[in-house]
């Protein structure tokens, strides 16, 4: 697909919405005719598909990920939060590599780069805080004020 979205209507279809007619039926009903796979129309009139998949599956996946993060934070006494900036970096790289297979490749690349930038920024903040803490402790030992 091209990076430029068409100006057609927004349609969000799941695989269950597209059904082929059995060969025993004659002419399809108007509703069924709209749901059967059609050859793509001319480039300017093609409907624009924004997302594929089921939003309930996406909500369940978000629940699974947040549950794993909460469980991991309980089991590691909250030290898993130091690894969280690595997640958007890895997922962003996966998004960039697979953006050619996305419905809107430009949007996928943009969101991936934003996720990578946010992950790198937060990782830099965590590393800077750790470095400043070490410098502070070394400075206190050097000055002899650590009792």
Number of domain units in the chain: 3
Distance in angstroms between the alpha carbons of the first and the last residue of the chain: 66
pLDDT tens digit sequence for 14-51: 666 665 545 555 555 555 445 556 555 555 555 566 65
Compute the Cα dihedral for 63, 65, 69, 72 and give only its sign.
positive
Instruction: Please indicate, yes or no, whether residues 59 and 117 belong to a single structural domain of this protein.
Output: no
Instruction: Please indicate, yes or no, whether residues 36 and 66 belong to a single structural domain of this protein.
Output: no
Instruction: Please indicate, yes or no, whether residues 66 and 121 belong to a single structural domain of this protein.
Output: no
pLDDT tens digit sequence for 67-126: 888 898 899 888 888 888 888 899 899 989 988 888 788 888 999 999 999 999 999 998
**Cα–Cα distance for residue pair 115/113, rounded to 1 Å:** 5
**Cα–Cα distance for residue pair 75/68, rounded to 1 Å:** 10
Instruction: Please indicate, yes or no, whether residues 88 and 64 belong to a single structural domain of this protein.
Output: no
Instruction: Please indicate, yes or no, whether residues 34 and 63 belong to a single structural domain of this protein.
Output: no
Instruction: Please indicate, yes or no, whether residues 2 and 23 belong to a single structural domain of this protein.
Output: yes
Instruction: Please indicate, yes or no, whether residues 71 and 19 belong to a single structural domain of this protein.
Output: no
Instruction: Please indicate, yes or no, whether residues 12 and 61 belong to a single structural domain of this protein.
Output: no
Instruction: Please indicate, yes or no, whether residues 77 and 88 belong to a single structural domain of this protein.
Output: no
Enumerate helices (H) and strands (E) in the chain, giving the number of each: 4, 2
Instruction: Please indicate, yes or no, whether residues 42 and 59 belong to a single structural domain of this protein.
Output: no
pTM above the 0.85 mark?
A: no
8 Å CB contact between 55 and 79: no
Instruction: Please indicate, yes or no, whether residues 9 and 34 belong to a single structural domain of this protein.
Output: yes
Residue-number span of the structural domain to which 62 is assigned: 54-82
Instruction: Please indicate, yes or no, whether residues 19 and 31 belong to a single structural domain of this protein.
Output: yes
User: Which pairs from 120-123 meet CB under 8 Å and 24+ separation?
Assistant: 120/85, 120/89, 122/84, 122/85, 123/85, 123/86, 123/89
């Amino acid at each position: 697909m091209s990076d430029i979205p068409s100006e057609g209507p927004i349609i969000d279809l799941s695989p269950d919405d597209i059904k082929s007619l059995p060969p025993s039926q004659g002419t399809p009903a108007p509703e069924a005719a709209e749901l059967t796979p059609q050859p793509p129309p001319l480039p300017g009139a093609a409907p624009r598909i924004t997302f594929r998949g089921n939003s309930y599956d996406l909500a369940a996946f978000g629940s699974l990920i947040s549950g794993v993060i909460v469980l991991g934070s309980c089991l590691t006494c909250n030290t898993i939060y130091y690894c969280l900036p690595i997640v958007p970096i890895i997922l962003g790289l996966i998004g960039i590599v697979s953006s050619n297979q996305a419905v809107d490749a430009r949007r996928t690349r943009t969101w991936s780069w934003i996720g990578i930038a946010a992950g790198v920024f937060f990782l830099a903040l965590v590393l800077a805080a750790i470095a400043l803490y070490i410098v502070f402790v070394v400075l206190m030992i050097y000055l002899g004020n650590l009792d």
